[in-house]
Structure formats: C-alpha cells, structure tokens
C-alpha cells in the first residue's frame, strides 16, 4: 500500500474513533461526564451511528471498551473538556490566531462560532482527511465557520512554515497552538521539528496546549492503569506509540523550545477537575497521560 494512503487511512480512523467517543459521551446520564460535541456523530459511519442509538448497544460497547482499553473513554472526555476550556478562553480574550496541529475531526470552530469575534482558526491535517471532513459537512448542510481555514499538510514532508504562511498565518500575532491527541503517534524528530517551528515563529506570550504520554510508558512500563491493554491494542492495529516525555523533565524539555510551563494536569488532576461529580469519580483515565499548557517566553 502507498505510504501516504496508509497514513491517511490511519489518521482518518483515529479521528473517527475519537469522534465516536465524544458522541457516545452525550448519552451519559450525568452531564458532568459528557463532552459538548454535538457534531461528532457526523463522522461516524451511518450504520454505526444507527446502532449507537440503542441503549443496549451503548452499554455493550462501553463494557467492551472498558475491558479492552481501560481509561480511554474517560480520558477522551476529560481531554476534550480541557481543550474546550482553552479554546473558549482564547475566544473570550480575542486571541488573534488559533492553530490546530493535527486537527482531525475537531468541531470547535463551528461549535463555538458565536463566541468567536476576532480569532482566525487554522486547521492543519492531511489533505485526504480535510477533504473528507469538508465532504461530511457539506453532506449534512453544515457550513464551515467563516473564521476557519482548513490547511492541508503532509506531516514529515511539507514545511509547516510554508503551509501556515500560505494560509495567512501572521507570526507577529499572539497565537494559541493546540496539539490534541497527536504527540505520542509522532517520531521524536517530528515533535522537535514542530516545537522548533513554534519557537522561531510564535509571538511572545503565545500559548501551546498539548497532551503527552510518559516516556516510561512508551519504553514498555505496563504498571500504569490501562497501560498493558492499550499497548496490546496498538500492537494489533500496527500503530505503536512513539514519543513520550518523562514528567520530571517536562519543564526542562519545554524550556529548550522557549516555553514556560503554565500548568499540567496529571491523571489525578484530570479525574478531579473533569470526571468528579458531587465527590464521586465518574471515570478513571490512563495512568500515563497528562494535558499541558505552556507559554512562549
């Protein structure tokens, strides 16, 4: 199979699965255990969307998910809420530019377009995935937000600087860079290349929001909650995780690229802030993942 086609297929499947998790959460009885992504269902194939309309199917699927990849479903819910907060905060403070690195089937530009008064949103992903996204929106009579620019890029081949420049990105303007559900699929060289670009091109006080996996997990430590199962699952589909950071090195790692750590949510933090209702824990996330906010100094 052509390498680009293989990469596009994996990217599309990963994006669809994340969307399916977000859609599935909308059926939760507790509103604190839901995302707000009412558009996620559009990216689920019609037959799958049909079956998810039945409560018994959802119960079966959640039971299977919790057994096969424990921590995944709650983690996607918590991560989505975390990134939603950062996105909305940027809109409220009129951050001029928001760059979605590996946007996938992100729907924030449309979901929050009423709050967007001045922010241009650059959605970067593979040409095939963005074309599929546009086709799905068109088929469902949804107009892509006027504030959004879908910018195709073949990661690892195309120059990020050129792609953003062609899309109208202004490096002099304060920017929010969002890197959701991506870093651990990339080789270290690609992560460094992206961070180096931001270091050279981002205005002072720009923000980087991303999530990452622990280096020890990438290296094979299965002692974390959900680690053994997710390792087995990715081996089965042939898409192993590649990049991680040792949490004790996070601050130093970011400083190497001109960023100051603003906040990071450990697994316990994610559960406390996004998965707890009236003192009850609604779901347990991976024990090896964190969501991070850093500021360009």
100 and 194 in contact (C-beta within 8 Å)? no
Locus of tokens 């199962």: 229
What are 183-214's pLDDT values in tens digits? 999 999 999 999 999 999 999 999 999 999 99
Tokens representing 1 are: 């199979």
Evaluate if residue 10 carries a pLDDT over 80. no
pLDDT of residue 101: 96
Cα gap 178→168, rounded to integer Å:
18
**First-last CA distance in the chain:** 44
Task: Answer whether CATH 3.40.1350.10 is correct for domain 3-296.
Answer: no
Where are the strands (E) in the chain, listed by range? 97-101, 120-125, 148-152, 175-179, 207-213, 259-265, 276-277, 280-281, 289-296
pLDDT of residue 1 exceeding 70, the answer is: no
pLDDT at 274: 97
Q: What is the pLDDT of residues 148-193, one digit of tens each?
A: 999 999 877 888 989 999 999 999 999 999 999 999 999 999 999 9
Residues 6+ apart with CB under 8 A from 249: 215
Of 166, 61, 181, 57, whose CA–CA distance to 122 is shortest?
166
Nearby residues of 198 by Cβ (< 8 Å), 6 or more positions away: 177, 206, 208, 257, 296
Q: Name residues whose C-beta falls within 8 Å of residue 157's C-beta, 6 or more positions apart in sequence.
A: none
Residues 6 or more apart from 297 whose CB is under 8 A from it? Answer: 204, 258, 259, 260
């Amino acid at each position: 199979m052509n390498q680009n086609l293989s990469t596009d297929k994996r990217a599309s499947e990963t994006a669809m699965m994340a969307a399916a998790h977000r859609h599935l959460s909308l059926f939760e009885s507790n509103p604190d255990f839901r995302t707000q992504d009412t558009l996620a269902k559009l990216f689920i194939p019609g037959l799958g969307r049909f079956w998810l309309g039945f409560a018994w199917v959802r119960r079966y699927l959640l039971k299977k998910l919790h057994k096969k990849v424990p921590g995944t479903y709650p983690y996607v819910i918590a991560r989505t809420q975390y990134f939603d907060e950062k996105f909305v905060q940027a809109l409220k403070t009129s951050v001029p530019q928001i760059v979605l690195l590996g946007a996938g089937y992100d729907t924030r530009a449309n979901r929050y377009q009423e709050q967007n008064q001045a922010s241009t949103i650059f959605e970067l992903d593979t040409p095939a995935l963005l074309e599929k996204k546009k086709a799905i929106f068109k088929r469902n009579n949804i107009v892509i937000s006027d504030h959004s620019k879908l910018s195709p890029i073949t990661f690892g081949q195309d120059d990020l600087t050129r792609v953003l420049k062609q899309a109208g990105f202004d490096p002099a303007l304060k920017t929010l860079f969002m890197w959701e559900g991506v870093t651990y699929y990339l080789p270290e060289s690609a992560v460094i290349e992206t961070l180096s670009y931001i270091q050279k091109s981002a205005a002072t006080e720009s923000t980087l929001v991303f999530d990452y996996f622990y280096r020890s997990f990438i290296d094979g430590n299965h002692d974390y909650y959900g680690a053994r199962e997710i390792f087995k699952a990715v081996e089965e589909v042939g898409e192993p995780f590649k990049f991680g950071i040792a949490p004790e090195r996070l601050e130093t790692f970011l400083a190497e690229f001109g960023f100051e750590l603003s906040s990071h949510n450990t697994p316990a933090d994610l559960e406390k802030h996004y998965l707890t209702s009236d003192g009850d824990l609604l779901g347990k996330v991976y024990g090896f993942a964190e969501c991070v906010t850093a500021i360009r100094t």
